[in-house]
Amino acid sequence: MMSIPRFGSVIYAKEFRTLADFYRKVAGLHVGESTREYVLLTTTDCFLVVLQMPSRIAETITIETPPRRRQQTPVKLIFAVESLQMARKVAAANGGELHPASREWSFHGLRRCDGVDPEGNVFQLQEA
């Protein structure tokens, strides 16, 4: 059994493998486990489980291109990256979007920028 970091999150996805691949590439996470129902992504600090949502719910969701932003959720995932500029390119190449540099801001000494993943979930990246 692998060691799982102490802090983590779960996100339900219509297309869980696509979403897991997006976060793996954009946030630099590593695949710890992968099954027919979920992908466990890890770093030394945290983990993210990308879980297949139940089919009865998935059938009611339409994924648009570009993804329609889902803002009616009280949670936003935040990941540290080495470069917002590079992450912007990686996000766009993998079905998501990171806002343009003109919408970046600084908070607690870190550059930050919001984006949207391929399923429309809002996330944030921070660059030291």
pTM value is 0.89
Domain spans of the chain, in order of start = 7-127
Residue 38 scores a pLDDT above 80: yes
Please compute the mean of the pLDDT values over residues 36-44 and round it to a whole number: 94
Do 77 and 91 touch, CB atoms closer than 8 A? no
Residue 1 pLDDT class (50, 70, 90 cuts): low
Nearest alpha-carbon partner for 79 in 12, 39, 30, 13: 30
C-alpha dihedral sign at 8, 13, 16, 18 = negative
Is the predicted pLDDT of residue 2 greater than 80, yes or no? Answer: no
Q: Which helix (H) or strand (E) holds 33?
A: strand 30-34
Are 22 and 62 in contact by the 8 Å Cβ rule? The answer is no
Q: What's residue 45's pLDDT? A: 87
Q: What's the CA gap between 35 and 52, in Å, rounded? A: 10
More confident residue, 1 or 58: 58
Q: How confident is the model at residue 64 (pLDDT cuts 50, 70, 90)?
A: confident
Flag whether pLDDT at 48 surpasses 80.
Answer: yes
71, pLDDT greater than 80 = no
38-42 and 46-52 beta bridge pairing: antiparallel
pLDDT above 70: residue 3: no
pLDDT band at 92 (very low <50, low <70, confident <90, very high): very high
Answer positive or negative: Cα dihedral of 11, 74, 28, 94: positive
**CATH architecture entry for 7-127:** Roll (3.10)
